[in-house]
């Protein structure tokens, strides 16, 4: 079974621009979560989607948004990029029936904001 | 809220040495506990998990036991290899539908 895929793998943007990242979950998984990883803050939860509905959201500004499609694929968008948004963005998928179940991660998208 | 406290790194060991990385947690209810590993330039890979008290997760020679009385989930391996060099994350999954991670421990194994 194919794993979680994320595109693109690398991105370079400038301040003020916006960016869209994509995630395809493991087949059959209906929940997709997004995390931001930085050297200073570690791994922080952004949001979680299940059946096209956002069920949970982390403590990030409104510039960070996401959505999920009917085929469970998900996108996240960051508008008006700031230097501090430079990070590795990780997507994870799970069956979605419980918060205690295993999440499987993709390789991440590394975003550099100049 | 939930939190995970993980042993600070970096940790440097010689090949075949014994490894312990400490992890303690605070949570409401009955969370699942995980260890993930991250190799350079990659995402997180699930190493092992435990879903209830006294469960032992194991994989590739690594083990961790879910200790509810001490709220701990320490990672151990009897004989590390150079290929085990990576960053290890302890994580907790509970009712909030999000993983809460420790700060990560960088492990370097020297030949």
* A24 contact B CB<8A: no
Residue of B35, B99, B104 to mutate for A, most A C-beta atoms under 10 A: B99
CB contact under 8 Å between B97 and A58, yes or no, is no
Give the list of residues 6+ apart from residue B95 with CB closer than 8 angstroms, or none: A99, A100, B28, B29
> Taking residues B69-98, what's their average pLDDT?
95
Give the DSSP per-residue string, A51-103.
TTEEEEE-S--TTEEEEE-TTS-EEEEE-S--GGG-EEEEEEEE--S-TTS--
SS3 state of residue B84: helix
CB contact under 8 Å between B101 and A42, yes or no, is yes
CB contact under 8 Å between A31 and B49, yes or no, is no
CB contact under 8 Å between A101 and B93, yes or no, is yes
CA distance B51 to B49: 7
CA distance B76 to B19: 5
Please list every residue in chain A whose beta carbon sits closer than 8 Å to the beta carbon of residue B86. Answer: none
SS3 state of residue B83: helix
The reported pLDDT for the residue numbered B59 is 97
Distance from CA of A17 to the nearest CA of B (A): 25
Q: To 10 degrees, the CA torsion angle through A53, A55, A56, A62?
A: 30
CB B77 within 8 A of CB B84: yes
What are the beta bridge partners of residue B60? Answer: none
* B14 contact A CB<8A: no
One digit per residue, pLDDT tens: chain A, 114 residues? 789 999 999 999 999 999 999 999 999 999 999 999 999 999 999 999 999 999 999 999 999 999 999 999 999 999 999 999 999 999 999 998 788 899 999 999 999 999
CB contact under 8 Å between B36 and A105, yes or no, is yes
* B57 contact A CB<8A: no
CA distance A110 to A83: 13
The reported pLDDT for the residue numbered B8 is 84
Give whole-number Cα distances, B2 to A4, A42, A55, A94, in Å: 26, 16, 18, 20
For residue B103, give the chain A residue with the closest CA.
Answer: A42
The reported pLDDT for the residue numbered B46 is 97
The reported pLDDT for the residue numbered B39 is 95
pLDDT, tens only, B9-25: 899 999 999 999 999 99
The reported pLDDT for the residue numbered B96 is 79
The reported pLDDT for the residue numbered A1 is 72
Do the strands A74-78 and A5-7 form a parallel or antiparallel pair, or are they unpaired?
unpaired
For residue B31, give the chain A residue with the closest CA.
Answer: A100
Please list every residue in chain B whose beta carbon sits closer than 8 Å to the beta carbon of residue A99. Answer: 93-98
Q: Peptide bond preceding B99: is omega within 30 degrees of 0, i.e. cis?
A: no
The reported pLDDT for the residue numbered B94 is 87
Higher pLDDT, B29 or B51: B51
Structure token pair of residue B108: 């370097």
Give whole-number Cα distances, A106 to A8, A69, A89, B43, B87, in Å: 12, 18, 9, 6, 16
The reported pLDDT for the residue numbered B5 is 97
For residue B104, give the chain A residue with the closest CA.
Answer: A42
The reported pLDDT for the residue numbered B18 is 98
The reported pLDDT for the residue numbered B28 is 86
Higher pLDDT, B8 or A78: A78
CA distance A37 to A91: 11
The reported pLDDT for the residue numbered B76 is 98
């Amino acid at each position: 079974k194919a794993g979680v895929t994320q595109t693109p793998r690398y991105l370079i943007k400038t301040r003020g621009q916006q960016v869209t990242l994509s995630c395809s979950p493991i087949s059959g998984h209906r929940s997709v979560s997004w995390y931001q990883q930085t050297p200073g803050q570690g791994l922080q939860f952004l949001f979680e989607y299940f059946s096209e509905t956002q069920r949970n959201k982390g403590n990030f500004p409104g510039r960070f948004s996401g959505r999920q499609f009917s085929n469970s694929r998900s996108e996240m968008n960051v508008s008006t990029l700031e230097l501090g948004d430079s990070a590795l963005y990780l997507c994870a998928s799970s069956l979605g029936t419980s918060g205690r179940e295993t999440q499987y991660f993709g390789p991440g998208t590394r975003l550099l904001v100049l | 809220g939930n939190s995970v406290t993980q042993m600070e790194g970096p940790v440097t060991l010689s090949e075949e040495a014994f490894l312990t990385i400490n992890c303690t947690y605070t949570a409401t209810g009955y969370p699942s506990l995980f260890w993930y590993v991250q190799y350079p330039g990659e995402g997180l890979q699930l190493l092992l998990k435990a879903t209830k008290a006294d469960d032992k997760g194991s994989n590739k020679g690594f083990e961790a036991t879910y200790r509810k009385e001490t709220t701990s989930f320490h990672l151990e391996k009897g004989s590390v290899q150079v290929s085990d060099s990576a960053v290890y994350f302890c994580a907790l999954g509970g009712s909030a539908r999000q993983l809460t991670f420790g700060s990560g421990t960088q492990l370097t194994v020297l030949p």
